[in-house]
A = this chain, B = another copy of it.
């Protein structure tokens, strides 16, 4: 079989320039999260097929890269279905493996447990621009804390990390609660079994606006008075903690007021932490797709860019499915790949990077001279300077141009027949 030069469909090679940005971002994020007391952990990239297909992952479960059984366990000839030939697959997110990890290791972990994960996940999505089948996710989660202090810490940590990467940008966190979404739908009289349909339409607000949402709800056959009531409610709610409290009074007949009080408490506390400069808005139209969310949901947007650069929420029921014992959990994920593309497009240059030097030596320099040269390079490297030592190419001019593209700014040349060295 002939060798193939291109990566497999939908995956890609990362070139040095982009890799510098990725490494920089990873370091900034890890350092920030560590300063908040989050602990790095890692799970295998390969998970049991039973866990991956347990209906926790919604549509992602259709996109799993499945791994073939090995040895005696595999009998392709006799097999008639996929299930018979696979025993595992590549993880499609970091949340399901985290739940398994916590179930497996809780006895050796502090409670509550603040976890930090950065790693690749795989989804066999239809290849399209800017979307790849292997990509990095970057999650923090607090497990075992039912109070909304977990949400507060997650919001502060995530926005601090983002601000460290892009200090000149403004970030806005939009926040909502699954129970408020449901409460509003109940209050307006939508039938309970059609909530998901209502939310899918509501989720398009960004693109089609409130009147578009109204139209689609009517087209979908919902009661006109419900749609009208919903529209009025959405139009009149404000964005701050007081708005959330007022909404609580309105929805008191269909929903416990503790939900809105909790959300207002989160917003007040985050706003009160003067050390940060975060825009935090209540957004009653925020839906978020993952079916496992049970309470608070959030999304973060960056000034000047559509869509989100992160999101998350509370999922109090997933870990219990592994352990049989309910364990509250809440997580926030940074849209790592989205941020990388934004920074690449903007021609981001890494702050505080030291000069890069290149020493070019002529072919045939003898061992002693070369050794002296390298000893000097080693000294500079010790002081944090990046020093490339390379033999001079025949076309020195082109070599230097290439190196300048890689960020080398200073050059020193060493010849064998001069006393320069």
Interface residue from B65, B88, B109, B378 paired with A8 (Cβ < 8 Å): B88
- Whether A256 is near chain B, meaning CB under 8 Å from some CB there, is no
Asked if residues A66 and B67 are in contact (CB atoms below 8 Å), the reply is yes
Asked if residues A44 and B7 are in contact (CB atoms below 8 Å), the reply is yes
Asked if residues A273 and B35 are in contact (CB atoms below 8 Å), the reply is no
Interface residue from B1, B76, B367 paired with A80 (Cβ < 8 Å): B76
- Whether A235 is near chain B, meaning CB under 8 Å from some CB there, is no
- Whether A77 is near chain B, meaning CB under 8 Å from some CB there, is yes
Asked if residues B375 and A275 are in contact (CB atoms below 8 Å), the reply is yes
Tell me, rounded to whole Å, the shortest Cβ–Cβ distance linking A167 to chain B.
12
- Whether A341 is near chain B, meaning CB under 8 Å from some CB there, is no
Given A44-B11, A76-B81, A79-B76, A374 and B156 touching (CB < 8 A)? Answer: yes
- Whether A304 is near chain B, meaning CB under 8 Å from some CB there, is no
Asked if residues A321 and B3 are in contact (CB atoms below 8 Å), the reply is yes
Contact string against B for A residues 342-360, beta-carbon threshold 8 Å, 1 for contact and 0 otherwise:
0000000000000010100
The interface stretch among A97-105, A169-177, A193-201, A279-287 is A97-105
Complex copy number for this chain: 2
Q: How large is the interface on A (under 10, 10 to 19, 20 to 34, 35 or more residues)?
A: 35 or more
Asked if residues B378 and A275 are in contact (CB atoms below 8 Å), the reply is yes
Asked if residues B105 and A13 are in contact (CB atoms below 8 Å), the reply is yes
- Whether A322 is near chain B, meaning CB under 8 Å from some CB there, is yes
Given A147-B391, A370-B149, A387-B37, A3 and B50 touching (CB < 8 A)? Answer: yes
* Bound complex: CA A405 to CA B145 (Å): 20
Given A371-B268, A372-B272, A385-B35, A40 and B67 touching (CB < 8 A)? Answer: no
Asked if residues A381 and B101 are in contact (CB atoms below 8 Å), the reply is no
A interface residue numbers (CB < 8 A to B): 1-8, 11-16, 19-20, 22-23, 27, 30, 32, 34-37, 39-48, 50-51, 53-54, 65-68, 70, 74, 76-77, 79-82, 84-88, 90, 100-101, 103-105, 108-112, 114, 120, 122, 124, 133-134, 145, 147, 149, 152-153, 156, 160, 265, 268-269, 271-276, 321-323, 356, 358, 363, 367-368, 370-372, 374-375, 378-379, 381-382, 384-391, 393, 402-403, 405-406
